[in-house]
Amino acid sequence: MQPIAVIDFETTGLSPAMGDRATEVAIVLVEGDQVVDRFQSLMNAGVRISAFIEAYTGISNAMIAAAPSAQAVMAEASRFVGDAPMVAHNASFDRRFWAAELQRVGHEAKQPFACTMLLSRRLYPQAPNHKLGSLASFHRLPSSGRAHRALADAEMAAALLGQIQSDLRCRFGVAQPGHDLLMSLQACARHAVPAAIKRYLG
DNA sequence: TGCCAGGCCCTCTTTAGGGCCTT
């Protein structure tokens, strides 16, 4: 069974195109329902962290100063992920930083991304909202540490992915929901989810 | 407690605008 790499970045802001950089990355490897490996590291990209971001993430300039270089961390993260397809919550955000930080070390971001936020909007329209923490509460998923730190959020996203896969099995009878089904579902409008499942099952 | 961007999606729409979500 091919593992899925669930990733979460902490960063200095919202846009690598505006000069924002990653400050921490965490990746959780999932096979079926099981977390089989974890990678987490702060990273020093040589940029200052604003007071707002420090309060938001708990990651300080002192912590970053003592961290390994962004180049070394991203090279190791790239090796850790390999060719595994990837998942993130609001994946458009993490995909941009994944691509931007890898480009700086000469690596290509070739992995496909599925998004637990888009999938949750399709599968759980009754949820109060689709923030990661809210969905974790909605599903009563276990807490795994301080919110807005990379490993805790990656673990939470992995647990949400497990919930999604479990619900696909129960609601639609899909035996082994894989990354290809997740990609298919997130590309469909909300009302077309059953049709997407039907196409997936052939 | 916020701004920056970008993709998705809803609706008072489609010749557009704005909310959500990520840090």
Convert the pLDDT of each residue in A44-65 to its tens digit: 999 999 999 999 999 999 999 9
Mean pLDDT is lowest, of A23-27, A91-95, A103-107, A192-196, for A192-196
Share the mean pLDDT of chain A.
Answer: 93
pLDDT attached to residue A16: 95
pLDDT tens digit sequence for A62-116: 999 999 999 999 999 999 999 999 999 999 999 999 999 999 999 999 999 999 9
Which nucleotides in chain B lie closer than 7 A to a protein CB? 1-10, 20-23
What's the rounded Cα separation, in Å, for the pair A95 and A60? 24
pLDDT attached to residue A55: 94
Spatial CA neighbour of A58 closest among A91, A90, A24: A24
- Would you report the helix, strand and coil content of chain A in percent, each value rounded to 5? 50, 15, 35
Cβ of A10 less than 7 A from strand B: yes
Cβ of A155 less than 7 A from strand B: no
Cβ of A65 less than 7 A from strand B: no
Cβ of A172 less than 7 A from strand B: no
Helix axes A116-123, A179-186, angle to 10 degrees: 70
Asked whether residue A178 carries a pLDDT value surpassing 80, the answer given is yes
Distance of C1' in B2 from CA in A119, Å: 29
Nucleotide nearest to A150 (CA to C1'): B23
pLDDT attached to residue A8: 98
Residue A15's identity, in one-letter code, is S
CATH architecture of A4-201: 2-Layer Sandwich (3.30)
Domain ranges of chain A: 4-201
